[in-house]
Amino acid sequence: MRKIPLSVLNIGAEEKRSVLECLDSGWIAAGKFITELEKRLCRYLGAKKAVCCVNGTCGLLVSLDACGVKADEEVIVPCLTFISPVNAVSYLGAKPVFMDCDEYMNIDVNKFEDFLRLECRMTERGPVNKCTKRLLKAVIPVHVFGNPCDMKSLMEVARRYRLKVIEDATESLGSYYTVGNYKGKFTSTIGDLGVLSFNANKIITSGGGGAVISNNDNLAKRVRYLINQAKDDPLRYIHNRIGYNFRFNNIQAAIACAQVDKLERFIAAKKKNYGLYASGIKGIEGLSLLGVPQGTRPNYWFYSLIVDEKCYGLSRDGLMRKLADNKIESRPLWQLNHLQQPYRLYQSYRIERAPGFLKRILNIPSSSGLKEKEVERVIKVLKKRR
């Protein structure tokens, strides 16, 4: 019996041809594929600018820097997300403030607004945290597992309080809004800056890499300047400030170019398998799939199973062990960030819903190349209960 992995690459002949072309040209660090990838991303997303970088975490760090976040200022981050955006805040010497999640595991916009209204005072410089006396500078909404955040409400609050918005769209490339102010707009294109990732488990991949997306020419120019070591004179190597060596390479860009062209095909496959899972577990008491936010087309990156131990008869961890015994890989949620050792002393605000998700969520196989018979095999194991 073959193992069913959680999420694996979907690489074909097109990627191999692009890499060979890159190698034959001799341009493996810099080269045409980087520029081509930036063009394809802009065309797909309907964005003005894309700047490729070494990975999504570095993209978040550079975006914060480009938006003027400084040491000892504060950035609002989700408690429920991969630790990357929180670390990016810390790399600059800034401080995270942790926010609870909503019913889709995205940042709770109502609590975000309450925190700014009740726990901060407005000054000429912007909101100041009454507790820490620090200036709040930005917010990082993360579109968790590909489900778009409530960006309409979040943007309204952020603009009212003069906060910069850096969208962490590292999990949501291809997700967009189908109604309202942002109808037709993709995640990563709504905030001041948006960040993508091409890590090995993402919906498209080059084994690593990322991009910063912007509709602001000046911000995009600033990002490119910082990513390339803040080089003011490329001939004489004059640097007027500290920059970063966060450049993408041409080989990875060659792979990613071919992957972008397959993105909608991957999403269609993931949506189909999401439907198969949802239908298959419909009659299993105690199991359900996390839903999709109304008015959005997500990319269905990961499938989150909600396990009700009392009704199902097994805990989330018990089910994870049962799946492993049947050679099916699954994964629990990340530890909540305000509970991570480096961040336990930082402020968190009314973390009430996230602990329940931490206890009950299990991600099940979701590769874009997942076969229908593999989905059926997973469902069969889920139905056994023991």
Condensed to tens digits (0 to 9), the pLDDT of residues 233-292 reads 989 999 999 999 999 999 999 999 999 999 999 999 999 999 999 999 998 999 999 999
User: Are 79 and 217 contained in the same domain?
Assistant: yes
Question: Are both 100 and 188 inside the same structural domain?
Answer: yes
Q: Which domain holds residue 286?
A: 263-384
**What pLDDT does 27 receive?**
85
Please measure the distance between the N-terminal and C-terminal CA atoms of the chain and give it in whole angstroms.
Answer: 19
Same domain membership, residue 192 and residue 82: yes
**Euclidean distance between CA atoms 298 and 176, whole angstroms:** 6
pTM of the model: 0.96
Q: Which amino acid is at 194?
A: G
Q: Report whether 81 contacts 99 (CB < 8 A).
A: no
Does residue 175 share a domain with residue 113? Answer: yes
Judgement on whether residues 50 and 65 belong to the same structural domain of the protein: yes
Task: Give the type of residue at 13.
Answer: A
Q: What is the pLDDT of residue 234?
A: 86
Q: Taking residues 321-336, what's their average pLDDT?
A: 97
Name which of 25-34, 127-136, 200-209, 349-358 the model is least confident about.
Answer: 25-34
Please give the average per-residue pLDDT across 211-220, as a whole number: 97
**Does residue 5 sit within a domain?**
no
pLDDT at position 188: 98
Out of 260, 282, 315, a domain closes at 260
Lowest mean pLDDT among 3-12, 56-65, 91-100, 124-133: 3-12
Helix, strand, coil percentages (3-state) for the chain, rounded to 5, are 40, 20, 40
The pLDDT of residue 385: 66
Contact call for residues 168 and 85 (beta carbons, < 8 A): yes
Confidence of residue 363 (pLDDT cuts 50, 70, 90): very high
Give the three-state DSSP class for 337. helix
State mean pLDDT over 311-335.
96
Give the alpha-carbon dihedral of 364, 370, 372, 375, to 10 degrees.
Answer: -10
pLDDT > 70 in the chain, percent: 99
Angle between helices 151-160 and 109-119 (to 10 degrees): 10
The dihedral over CA atoms of 13, 14, 15, 19, expressed in degrees to the nearest 10, equals 100
Evaluate if residue 144 carries a pLDDT over 90.
Answer: yes
Q: Using CA atoms, how far apart are residues 38 and 34, in angstroms rounded to an integer?
A: 6
Average pLDDT over residues 343-362: 98
**pLDDT over 90 (residue 1):** no
Residue 35 shares a structural domain with residue 167: yes
| Whole-number pLDDT of residue 297 | 98
Per-residue pLDDT tens over the stretch 78-120: 999 999 999 999 999 999 999 999 999 999 999 999 999 999 9
Strands 136-139 and 361-364: unpaired
Evaluate whether residue 1 is within a structural domain. no
Phi-psi region of 160 (alpha: psi -120 to 50; beta: other; left: phi over 0): alpha
Q: Mind listing the pLDDT tens digit for each residue in 52-87? A: 999 999 999 999 999 999 999 999 999 999 999 999
Strand partners, 55: 209
Distance CA 172, CA 267 (A): 11
- Strand, coil or helix: 76: strand
Burial letters 2-18, b for 16+ CB under 10 A, else e: eebbbbbbbbeeebeeb
Q: Are residues 362 and 336 in the same domain?
A: yes
Mean pLDDT, the chain, integer: 96
Domain CATH for 288 = 3.90.1150.10
Number of domains in the chain: 2
What is the predicted pLDDT for the residue at 384?
Answer: 83
* Domain termination residue (choose one: 237, 260, 283): 260
Cα 87 to chain centroid distance, Å, stands at 14
- Which helix (H) or strand (E) is 109 found in, with range? helix 109-119
The SS3 assignment for 264 reads helix
Q: Mind listing the pLDDT tens digit for each residue in 163-192?
A: 999 999 999 999 999 999 999 999 999 999
Q: 136 near 73, Cβ under 8 Å?
A: yes
Is residue 386's pLDDT more than 80?
Answer: no
Q: Could you give the 3-state DSSP secondary structure of residue 207? A: strand
| Domain boundary, last residue among 260, 279, 301 | 260
DSSP letters, 226-259, are: HHBTT-SBTTTTB-SS---B----HHHHHHHHHH
Cα-based angle 239, 244, 245 (whole degrees, multiple of 5)? 105
